[in-house]
Amino acid sequence: MAFNAQDFNSFYFAWPWALLLIGLIPIGWALYLRQLRHKLRQTALKFSHTALLSHLHKQPTPWKRLLSPVTTSLLAFCLVLSLARPTMTARVPVNSVDMMLVLDISLSMMAEDIPPNRLEAAKEAAIQFVRSLPRDSRIGLEIFAGGAYILSPPTTKHDEVEAYLRAIRKADLKPRTEIGGALSAALQALQRAEQKPDRANASNNATNPTETEKSSPSFKTKTQKEENSTKPPSRVIILLSDGDSHEGYPWDQAARDALQERVIVNTIGIGSRQGGTITYRGIELPVNFDETTLRRIAEIAKGSYFRVFQQGDFRKVYEQIHERTIHYEQREVDLGFILAGFGFMFLLVGFVGLLMI
């Protein structure tokens, strides 16, 4: 749920007539003060002047005497406002989404043309993206180079995915790039997530689908596909890579598999215009990449291709992906529970105050 300044312009009370009950609060104060004055007069008649002073000296201090009626008044005020059902519109996510974040960890990610290097820039941007997701959206993490490794299947435990992202280091980078196998593994992870409500322990379910990535993944039956054809896409793959693919399961077939399963694939190409260099086994190598593969994958799988030239571009890319993936609607939200919470707080303060008197 998200609020902005314009939302407050739509604020109203669904049951405004309930606000008339606020008038009972000053009436209650008048009765309280009347009873207090009557009690003081009765006390003055019973005791002598000296005894009265001694008796008054033992009475609670003014703030303790007023604590109970003040907290009671605030409690009544909050309950009346809550009863009037304060309402405003807010942007609310209307559907949950299963996503797989597929990150390239090939050696070319060591290049420092996007400071501090391509890997760290991609990781930090991915962390911010995970933090921006609605709580009910499930996201998983896969890393790949010559093989694909699912670190976390789609889960609502976003903090676990963030922890996996932070744990990736330059020492984990490996040679080769097999995009087709990575997409195939991601599709299988999304398919398994659709069959289970959630993964309670992502670390216990980490898998290495290297052995199966070169064969076409097993997908749902034709009947299930026809049923899903009427539903809006709710599964997304976000592929981050800086290189093309010439090995393993064909990337174009993997993209067609995603299209068949109604999984949108957004691709992000990482690298500056001038490219970069890496040092591998004492040899300095230039690092460039061909955008054709990533652009074509996005086209086939009905996604979008984005090119990142500098670290600041990641934020803009993820904002666009977030906007296209997470769907919001303007819905009326009852804020009465907030006021009821304040009322409970005042009740607790009053109770503690009575114990202190």
Q: What is the CATH number of the domain that holds 243?
A: 3.40.50.410
If asked whether residues 120 and 173 sit together in one domain, one would say yes
If asked whether residues 311 and 348 sit together in one domain, one would say no
Higher pLDDT, 65 or 311: 311
Check whether 51 has a pLDDT greater than 70: no
Q: Mean per-residue pLDDT for 157-165? A: 96
pLDDT in tens, 271-294: 877 777 888 778 888 887 778 899
Q: What is the pLDDT of residue 209?
A: 44
Q: What is the pLDDT of residue 3?
A: 52
Q: What is the pLDDT of residue 261?
A: 93
What are the structure tokens assigned to 40, written together? 């003081």
If asked whether residues 202 and 342 sit together in one domain, one would say no
Check whether 232 has a pLDDT greater than 50: no
Count the domains in the chain. Answer: 2
Q: Mean per-residue pLDDT for 91-114? A: 85
Nearest alpha-carbon partner for 86 in 337, 341, 345, 344: 337
DSSP 325-336: HS-EEEEEEE-H
Range of the domain at 43: 5-89+331-356
Check whether 22 has a pLDDT greater than 50: yes
How many residues in total does the chain contain?
A: 357
If asked whether residues 134 and 283 sit together in one domain, one would say yes
If asked whether residues 121 and 200 sit together in one domain, one would say yes
* 8 A C-beta contact, residue 162 and residue 127: yes
Q: Mean per-residue pLDDT for 48-56? A: 53
What are the structure tokens assigned to 337, written together? 């529970």
Reported in sequence order, the residue ranges of the chain that DSSP labels E, i.e. its strands, are 12-13, 86-93, 98-104, 138-144, 148-155, 235-241, 263-270, 276-280, 283-287, 305-308, 328-334
Q: What is the pLDDT of residue 326?
A: 74
If asked whether residues 134 and 113 sit together in one domain, one would say yes
Q: What is the pLDDT of residue 204?
A: 41
If asked whether residues 117 and 74 sit together in one domain, one would say no
If asked whether residues 206 and 349 sit together in one domain, one would say no
DSSP for residue 58: T
Percent with pLDDT over 90 in the chain: 28
Check whether 114 has a pLDDT greater than 60: yes
Percent with pLDDT over 70 in the chain: 75
Check whether 245 has a pLDDT greater than 80: no
Q: Mean per-residue pLDDT for 94-123? A: 88
If asked whether residues 116 and 210 sit together in one domain, one would say yes
User: For residue 63, what pLDDT band results from cuts at 50, 70 and 90?
Assistant: low
User: For residue 354, what pLDDT band results from cuts at 50, 70 and 90?
Assistant: low
If asked whether residues 183 and 249 sit together in one domain, one would say yes
pLDDT in tens, 332-353: 778 888 888 888 888 777 666 6
pLDDT in tens, 170-222: 889 998 889 999 999 999 999 998 877 554 343 344 444 444 344 444 444 44
If asked whether residues 352 and 236 sit together in one domain, one would say no
If asked whether residues 83 and 190 sit together in one domain, one would say no
Q: What is the pLDDT of residue 210?
A: 42
